[in-house]
Amino acid sequence: MNWKEFFKTAIGMWGTFLFYKLITLLLLYIFPNLQEKPFYEFIYFAIVFVITLFIFKMSTKIFNKKIVINPIKNFKISNLLLLIVPFILFGIDFIAIIPSILHQTPYLLLVSVFSALGAALFEETRDRGFGIVGFSQAIPNSKYKAFMIACLTSFLFSTTHYLNLLMPIAPTLEAVQQQVFYTFFMGMIFAVLYMRTGTIFYGIFFHFINNMSVWTPTSDLSTTSPWGNLIVLYGLVPLIYTIWCLRPKKSFY
């Protein structure tokens, strides 16, 4: 293990997240009820977009490797098969809510898009792009390297959601625990998409449609689901998908 590269990656991932979280929490506490205002999503998008651009530059400077966002740079027809499971898990639900989304006013529709896109850009660039690039250089080659990277980046990604408990309008502890569980396995799927295609584009796309919903002050932060359904559909299925796609005999970008 190259511990220097390991800690540079982990610190880069958590450091940029904590910087974002500090700025947004300060805004939310300094300006009461800002979280309940739709225009806050535009402020949020501007903050994460700037940090995302910084992460792109940081990856090149620290690891001498660019984070690829071009969807066709390393495209193979066989990669389309990778999209079947993400589409079933995220795409079908998105299609089902399209009517309710389209019934929003144009302003709230734009707010919803900025909210979902901001999170998708920032988190995929940070956790799949920067994280996988860095840990690829830190972890020695082995037949389980890809799976180890997927687990590690997903753990760091999912546990950041515990800090949602600090928000002025905070979700319940159970809702956050379900978020952490759900985002861990969601992160595994997006890690597969990046490591098998070499681009964060597909992760951004599915992350975006997963987050896209009718805007409310707390969005989907306060919702809970039956644990049984969550474990089977959004835990077991992504785990099997990840193990199969990152099996030792498979080649990666």
Report whether pLDDT(133) > 80.
yes
Distance from C-alpha of 234 to C-alpha of 105, rounded to nearest angstrom: 32
- CA distances to 84, 90, 160, 204 from 78, rounded to whole Å, are 11, 20, 33, 20
The domain limits of the chain are 3-245
10 Å CB burial of residue 222 (0-12, 13-18, 19+) is middle
- The pLDDT tens digits for 15-74 are 999 999 999 999 999 999 999 899 999 999 999 999 999 999 999 999 999 999 998 877
Closest CA to 53 of 39, 43, 66: 66
Instruction: Decide if pLDDT at 252 tops 90.
Output: no
Which tokens belong to 51? 């940090």
Residue 102 has what pLDDT? Answer: 84
pTM above 0.75, yes or no: yes
Kindly state the tokens that stand for 85: 């499971």
pLDDT tens, residue by residue, 135-186: 999 999 888 999 999 999 999 999 999 999 999 988 899 999 999 999 999 9
List, in order, residues 6 or more apart from 100 with CB less than 8 Å away: 214
Better pLDDT: 86 or 71: 86
pLDDT at 159: 96
Question: Taking 70 as the threshold, does the pLDDT of residue 77 lie above it?
Answer: yes
Residue 251 has pLDDT above 70, yes or no: no
Q: Which residue has the tokens 């920032």?
A: 122
Q: How far is CA 164 from CA 7, 17, 132, 218, 236, in A?
A: 24, 12, 24, 10, 25
